[in-house]
């Protein structure tokens, strides 16, 4: 691996040579791409694409968690009302529809995610701040709604996994939505001069 990285570094150094003609530069660029592919042959997934899929997977996790929590809370007599039963049915239907989107999950295994740079790190920390702020507002609103409703809910060893799953899905989805907002879509290489 050390040798292959060294070769890649050498190729990149040669690329900086100002005396290279355009065709020589293109040939060298092809060599760099081939070398990178030889080191890790998995195709690269764009960061924006990654977050698009992660947001959908997070939403599936959130709905699954909420469905589980609500369904388990129906063992209490006070919670057996038509509104909650309808909510559970709709959640299950939504999950079935979202579950078909299996293509969201497969590329997480078969692709490697594009390497983040300094702009990505900046966007990532901004996304963390947005997520924390949204979670605070969301948590406060949820607490207000629950305190006003007749729904009886307590965290126990029965539903703790669903609560954790829902929170994990919510945080993941919120962060990915924030990243999608911050990371603008890249135009195609040929269109770059028209920007």
Partner 1 sequence: MAEFTTKLKEYRASRDMKQGDLADLVGVRRETIIRLEKGQYNPSLKLAVDIARVFGVKVEDIFLFDDQ
CB-based burial label for 107 (10 Å; 0-12, 13-18, 19+): middle
Q: Does 187 bind partner 1 (CB under 8 A)?
A: yes
Is 178 a binding residue for partner 1 by CB under 8 A? The answer is no
- The interface with partner 1 within residues 28-47 (CB under 8 A) comprises 29, 32, 47
The answer to whether residue 161 forms part of the interface with partner 1 (CB under 8 A) is no
Distance from C-alpha of 95 to C-alpha of 56, rounded to nearest angstrom: 11
| Residues in region 138-157 near partner 1 by CB under 8 A | none
Of residues 98 through 137, those in contact with partner 1 by CB under 8 A are 114-120
Concatenating the DSSP letter of every residue in 95-107 gives HHHHHT-GGGTHH
- Least distance between partner 1 and beta carbon 40 (Å): 15
State the Cα–Cα distance between residues 171 and 169, nearest whole angstrom: 6
Q: Is residue 183 part of the contact set for partner 1 (CB under 8 A)?
A: yes
When computed from its CA atoms, the radius of gyration of the chain, rounded to whole angstroms, is: 24
Residue 18 CA to residue 30 CA, distance in Å, equals 18
Query: Which parts of this chain interact with partner 1 (CB under 8 A)?
Result: 12, 15-16, 18, 22, 25, 29, 32, 47, 114-120, 183-184, 186-187, 189, 192, 195
């Amino acid at each position: 691996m050390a040798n292959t990285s060294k070769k890649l570094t050498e190729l990149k150094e040669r690329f900086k040579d100002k005396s290279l003609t355009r065709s020589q530069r293109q040939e060298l660029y092809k060599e760099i791409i081939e070398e990178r592919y030889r080191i890790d042959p998995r195709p690269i997934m764009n960061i924006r694409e990654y977050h698009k899929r992660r947001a959908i997977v997070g939403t599936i996790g959130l709905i699954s968690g909420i469905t589980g929590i609500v369904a388990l809370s129906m063992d209490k007599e006070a919670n057996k009302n038509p509104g909650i039963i309808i909510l559970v049915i709709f959640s299950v239907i939504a999950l079935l529809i979202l579950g078909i989107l299996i293509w969201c999950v497969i590329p997480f295994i078969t692709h490697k995610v594009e390497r983040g740079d300094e702009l990505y790190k900046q966007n990532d920390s901004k996304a963390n701040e947005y997520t924390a702020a949204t979670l605070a507002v969301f948590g406060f609103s949820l607490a207000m709604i629950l305190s006003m409703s007749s729904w009886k809910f307590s965290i126990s060893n029965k539903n703790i996994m669903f609560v954790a799953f829902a929170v994990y899905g919510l945080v993941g989805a919120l962060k990915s939505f924030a990243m999608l907002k911050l990371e603008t879509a890249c135009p195609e290489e040929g269109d770059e001069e028209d920007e």
